[in-house]
Chains A and B, each alone.
Chain A
């Protein structure tokens, strides 16, 4: 086991997959000479050359579509969006081209492409730079969506995404890039569509993904001190959702809290709750509660921003409600 930052784990994944398959190339704003806006692509230009590490103009719709066209004709592009906020400009090519091509062509044209970059809030970046778009992409048939919360999952899921024959959305986190964790040595792949139990427990299921994995684990730690044992399930993949693992957990704990960074209405949590109520209704001892970002455009002010984000205290409070220990 090697201890790596989330950033370096992603970098390793890119490096290994580009070494392994010369159809894989990276394209995006500042990925080459500048070494990546968040340094995820550090050293790749030197290692693979300008043909495979392509700096683009600021033209998200154009280069996203160029990526799709390249994927339609046999390459395996990794398109980096500097952040997912900017990818709104490219969503037509992601949704109308990448996600639909296989179906629309009657199964003839595959689009093996990865769209990746950081999503969600960082620190005081205000409304236009602090958005979690998980549910937008997870809504679309034809896309796969992953959102790793640890360096090991970041590496394993990005490698799996690059090898997948479908368009895969990889949602990273700016606040996660510096986080360190153990990453298995050698070939490390994490299957798309498999959730992961990050902590075992018996009294309540806490569902989380990406940036909310750490606060969920912190809350579980605190709850353990109070005699409440939490089963922490990291979704890791949002589409396809690993409903089996969720149901298996809730059937044992009978209670559930779903945590996400995004807005509450029509969010990932709404889908998780729907799956659980349909498949484990008789096992529930309390309504499922959700801890989400506040239903507002993100404010700049530090205190306001802090109160808009999910945190361990809010997760603990929700668990106390579903376990009737408040």
Chain B
């Protein structure tokens, strides 16, 4: 008689998992939409790189992690920070440059950090986080731990020298790192087809004898499965993996970049939206009767409320104290 119970429990937990994926993606999207508004109002300054369209990558990749694993990523980091569990309040407050932000207002949109959650930063120099991730993997191996590191970077970073240097060393020293190339087909305004002789980023792993795969980055469950396998390889055998996760950003590179017109057409952007990660998962859940439109609306209301609360928190938070200027330049 235990069989059906287990199956039911399994089904139940499966449904919860799907819903978590959907909710996390929706949360990022609503957060980013609200961040864009705040940017337009001048409440968020500097550079701000939105993640709309790419949500399935961060969610599918980060959900399988253990709390003591590490995440490091580029300046397009809001989605990763939220999925890793940094409260929306602390992320929004950081965008607003407030003392209550997750980097105390010193980092801003591009440099979200949370040491407790092993969220080791958004980094602003293309690919700069790739060696750092390998260093974290080195550290884990040095101590004989079984944690893993997820390293997120864009397709343009696959052309920097350090990418190749680090792939070589990661294999040479067998470091437990999953290199996740979020291939959104454009490095700022330069198409991958114009910057790279081969479009198959995964093929670059061959040169270093590294396991690699191409992954549909618009399907959160596919990302989840691929990253789960890579994490297992890293955790059990301390072997690195390169994943070419194919995705698309619906918005400009940063807030100053129009969605389309200069380097890509509006038609192309619209075509890509057919593969929308949120709509795809939602359709699947509705088809399998795991979600009603009421459920979805309730979910959307909740995440919108969370984001509004985050904005209100950011607005009402204080700027850093004037004497914070010279603080934290050196450690004691």
Which A residues fall within an 8 A CB radius of B? 25, 51, 54, 56-57, 59, 61-75, 92-93, 96-97, 101-110, 112, 141-142, 144, 165-166
Contacts and interface: CB of A to CB of B under 8 A. Distances in A.
Given A106-B106, A166-B331, A97 B132 contact: yes
Contacts of A64: 131
Interface in B149-168: 161-162, 165-166, 168
A266 B165 CA distance: 33
A33 to B, nearest CB: 14
B213 to A, nearest CB: 23
A66 B111 contact: no
Contacts of A112: 331
A71 B142 CA distance: 12
Contacts of B188: none
Nearest to B134: A66
B60 interface: no
B45 interface: no
A106 B169 contact: no
17 contacts: A25-B142, A51-B142, A62-B131, A62-B162, A63-B131, A64-B131, A69-B72, A69-B134, A69-B135, A69-B139, A71-B135, A73-B140, A92-B128, A97-B128, A104-B107, A106-B101, A107-B104
A93 B121 CA distance: 14
Given A69-B135, A96-B125, 9 more contacts: A57-B168, A59-B162, A66-B132, A69-B136, A70-B136, A70-B139, A97-B128, A108-B113, A144-B330
Contacts of A57: 165, 168-169, 172
B165 A59 contact: yes
> What are the 10 tightest A-B residue pairs by CB atom distance, in nearest-first order?
A69-B135, A65-B131, A106-B104, A62-B165, A107-B328, A59-B165, A69-B132, A105-B113, A106-B103, A165-B331
Given A59-B168, A103-B328, A104-B107, A69 B138 contact: yes
A5 B105 CA distance: 48
B115 A108 contact: yes
> Which of A102, A112, A165 counts the most chain B CB atoms within 10 A?
A102
A70 B142 contact: yes
Contacts of A93: 128, 131
A102 B329 contact: yes
Contacts of B142: 25, 51, 70, 75
A139 to B, nearest CB: 14
Contact of B332 (A25, A101, A165): A165
B118 to A, nearest CB: 8
B327 interface: yes
Contact of A104 (B114, B121, B138): B121
B186 interface: no
A46 B135 CA distance: 24
B102 interface: yes
Contact of B131 (A54, A66, A107): A66
Contacts of A108: 103, 113-115
Contact of A97 (B104, B123, B328, B332): B123
Contacts of A106: 101-107, 113, 328
Contacts of A144: 330
A68 to B, nearest CB: 6
B181 interface: no
Contacts of B130: 65
B179 interface: no
Interface string B86-129: 00000000000000011111110001011100001101110010
Given A104-B107, A106-B328, A72 B120 contact: yes
A110 B331 contact: yes
B105 A142 contact: no
A54 B174 CA distance: 13
> Which of A59, A71, A166 counts the most chain B CB atoms within 10 A?
A59
Nearest to A65: B131
B117 to A, nearest CB: 10
> Which of B113, B125, B128, B331 counts the most chain A CB atoms within 10 A?
B331
A56 B131 CA distance: 13
B139 A65 contact: no
> Which of A59, A65, A70, A109 counts the most chain B CB atoms within 10 A?
A65
A165 B332 CA distance: 7
Interface string B60-101: 000000000010100000000000000000000000000001
Interface in B261-292: none
Interface in B298-330: 327-330
A51 B174 CA distance: 12
B128 to A, nearest CB: 6
A92 B107 contact: no
A110 B168 CA distance: 27
A29 B172 CA distance: 15
Contacts of B111: 104-105
B133 interface: yes
A74 B125 contact: no
A147 B172 CA distance: 34
A34 B332 CA distance: 36
> Which of A25, A56, A105 counts the most chain B CB atoms within 10 A?
A105
Nearest to A69: B135
A57 to B, nearest CB: 6
A61 B166 CA distance: 9
Interface string B171-182: 011000000000
Contacts of A62: 131, 134, 161-162, 165-166, 168-169
Contacts of B332: 165
A203 B55 CA distance: 70
Contacts of A56: 169
A104 B125 contact: no
